[in-house]
Structure formats: structure tokens, C-alpha cells
Amino acid sequence: MNGLITRRTMLAGGAASLLAAPWVAKAQANTLRIGMQSILSGPIALLGTSSRNALMMEQDRINAAGGFLGRQIEFVFRDSKGQPQEAARLTRELVNSTGCELLIDAEASSGAFAVQEVVRDLGVACIHTNSETSSLTADPKIRVPTAFRVARQGVHDAVAGSIYLSEYANAKKLNKWATCSPDYAYGRDTTAQYLQFFKQFKPDIEIVTEAWPKLGQPDFTEVITKLIQAKPQALFTLLYAGDLSAFVNQGNIYALFTQMAVATPNVDYPVLAAIKNLPPGIQSATRYLETFPDTPANKEWGQAYLKRWNERPTNWSWQNTVAMHFYEAAIKKANSLDGKAIAAALTGMKIDTPFGVDGTITMRDDHTTINYAIGWGQTTPKEPFIIDVKAADWGKIIELETEWKKQQKYI
């Protein structure tokens, strides 16, 4: 009898503590907690982890310099598993029960839109560091007073890439193009955006075939043979991460890269590491490259990251780093952690950073960054992997972005 009661008591106690645990913890006094959520498990956990790595370096740097407003900072990292409803829950949890006073939203796009709506309710300062979907900040209905974006933006990349590729196509007389992009919103929308601008600069191009492989597809044989049979002069692909490296590795077997020119904006260090024989001459954007901008500060940061984590940084790494630079400058200027005060300080702010095309990045009035490094060059099998990098013309990018915003009725 006693034994039974003990077991029941233990079970009841266990269940009660399990249920009580989520709202027991509270922030420790004086340490400034910053909530960070991202995809830290699953197939693209590598990108979330590279965001976390960069933020841990920033935490050490900022604390060594005295913290924010004299308070040491501490990140609270959470894994959303890439699920929007979980992303929304985590944002609430980070602020409501973990006591975070600032947010870094390192979610991919779908999660970022869910976080955006929670931030609208909570009124806390938040910087989205990885969502590239333009409407997050471009659409005034979706924009939130205390939420900002420090990341590439789809429309910026599309304009820069189209200008570069139209010049390249004119020089090489490449009129017949094929596309191969992942079969979901990012792949289809961004391909359409690239083609819209591409055709604007080079009206005589013809798309001879389109391939839409599934995300995470292990075998690209069908896609590669379809592309080869269509006999295009050039291929544009938005495959990324593991899909891009698998495509290149399998494309090498079919000698795809000797039969057509190839262009992609999505080459990153982890992709390069996963490709066995990187074909030379792929036209490629620099998502993050230690040699572009070719400055000592950029090189130093890239090397420091490599030394600490024994791997190269990604595009997501520099974006998270710059987000902390913006927070640092804005909190200093506002002398406050209040969401509205930080928002007022961030709007229009220009900071010095190794990742800007001219050593600076600006947070525009519409809560998104401009002037970050966008360059296009061509691959080479050895370091630095992308050479002859040409910097994009930001004047032209902003001009065409404004046109696009008018078309979308955002302005």
C-alpha cells in the first residue's frame, strides 16, 4: 500500500513539475537577455547553427566592451524546427517567460512572418536576420514599427544578378536559357523575379526549359538529362545548400558544365566544401566571401570565425553579426532598451561594417538594410573559390526596386 502511494505521489509530483516548468524560470537580475530563434535541427540546421556561432562571437565581443548600457548580454537560443507556429510560440516565450528584452529572429522566411505578427503584439525590438522575402518589410501592411531586417533582400539580389547576367549573356552571346529551381514559393517567386528583370535588360532571351526539382531531392538524374536534352546555351539555378552541391556533383558525372554556361546566386562556403570537383567558370554571386569586399576587416572576421568554429561562416553568419552592430549603435544612441526608442534610433542609421560594399550599411526608413556587399564573379576550384568579382551598382538596384515597389502598390 505504502509502495503504491509512493509511486502515485512520485508520478503526480513528476507530472506537476513537468507542467509547471515552462513558467517557473524568470530572468536573472541585471543580465540583459536577448532571445534568438532559428532552425537549429533538421536538414538546414547548418545555417541556423552558423547564425548562432556568429552571435556567440558577438556576445563575447560586446561583453568584453562593457555590454549594453552597462549590462552584460546573454543570448537565449531556441530551435523552432522551421515551423511557423512554433516560431510564434517561441517569440512569446522568449519575451514573456524567459525575460528577453531584445529579439534576434534568425528564422527563414515562413517563420519570420509568424514572428513579425507576434512582435506587432508585443512591441519589443526585433531584428530579422535571415528572411530574404522582400514583402516582410516592403509591404506597409506587413511592416511592424519595432521590427527591422538586416539581411539580403530578394529584389536586391534579383536586380543585381540580372544586370550582371545580361552583360555576361551579351558578351558571350547566350540567348537560350534554362532554369532549374526548387519547387516551392522561394524557387518559383525568385526565379520569376530574376527573369522579369533579366528580360528587361536583355529582351531577346528565350527560356527553352524549366526544371523544378523537389526540395531535398536526392537524385537529380532526371533533371540533368532534361536540361541537357533541351540544349540551352546557359542555365540559371536557384538551388541552394545541399541541393546545389548534390546537383553540381551529379552534374559533373554527366559533364553538364561543359555543355552549357551555368549561373547561380547561391554559392556559399558550406556548398563549396560539399562539392567534390568545383567546375571553373560558374557565374556566381557572393553570399559571403572572405575576399569580397577585399578588406582586412572582412578577412580578419572570416578568419576569426574559422579559428573559433573550425568551419567557414555563411551568409547567415554575417547578417547576424551586422544585426548586433546595429543594436549596439542604436542602444547607445537611444540610451534605452524600449522598442520604440530603439526603432527611432535604428531608422535611417548608417554604421561602419566590413560587410558593406563601401564599408558601411544603412538601415533605410522602410526598416531594411541597403548597401551590403553584392558581387558576382566566376568560380575557380581553389581558394578564394570566386574570382573577378564585380560589385553591384546600388544606385541601379534602388532605382529598379522603387519601380518594383510601385508595381506591387507598396508605395
CB of residue 402 vs another protein: minimum separation in angstroms? Answer: 22
3-state secondary structure of 134: coil
Residues of this chain, 22-41, that bind another protein according to CB under 8 A? 22-23, 25, 40-41
Residues of this chain, 141-160, that bind another protein according to CB under 8 A? 141-142
CA distances from 80 to 99, 131, 194, 380 (A): 18, 14, 30, 36
* Nearer CB in complex with another protein: 24/29: 24
DSSP string, 322-358: HHHHHHHHHHHHHTS--HHHHHHHHTT-EEE-TTBTT
Residue 22 carries which DSSP code?
A: G
Question: Considering only residues 18, 29, 65, 171, which one is a binding residue for another protein as defined by CB under 8 A?
Answer: 18
Pairs from 126-129 (Cβ < 8 Å, separation ≥ 24) = 126/91, 126/102, 127/103, 127/323, 127/326, 127/327, 129/51, 129/104, 129/105, 129/316, 129/319, 129/320, 129/323
- Kindly state whether residue 81 participates in binding another protein, applying the rule CB under 8 A: yes
* Nearer CB in complex with another protein: 25/273: 25
Beta carbons of 254 and 228 less than 8 angstroms apart: yes
Return the axis-axis angle of helices 315-334 and 296-309, rounded to nearest 10°: 110
Beta carbons of 323 and 61 less than 8 angstroms apart: no
* Nearer CB in complex with another protein: 132/157: 132
Type of residue found at 194: Y
CB of residue 329 vs another protein: minimum separation in angstroms? Answer: 29
Question: Contact region for another protein (CB under 8 A) — 59-67, 179-187, 288-296, 380-388?
Answer: 179-187
Residues of this chain, 84-143, that bind another protein according to CB under 8 A? 84-86, 88-90, 92-93, 95-97, 109-110, 113-114, 116-118, 120-121, 133, 135, 139, 141-142
- Kindly state whether residue 217 participates in binding another protein, applying the rule CB under 8 A: no
| Per-residue x/- track, 225-264, another protein (CB under 8 A) | ----------------------------------------
Beta carbons of 342 and 146 less than 8 angstroms apart: yes
User: Residues binding another protein: what is the number (CB under 8 A)?
Assistant: 45
Which residues contact another protein (rule: CB under 8 A)? 4, 8, 15, 18-19, 21-23, 25, 40-41, 45, 78-79, 81, 83-86, 88-90, 92-93, 95-97, 109-110, 113-114, 116-118, 120-121, 133, 135, 139, 141-142, 184-186, 188
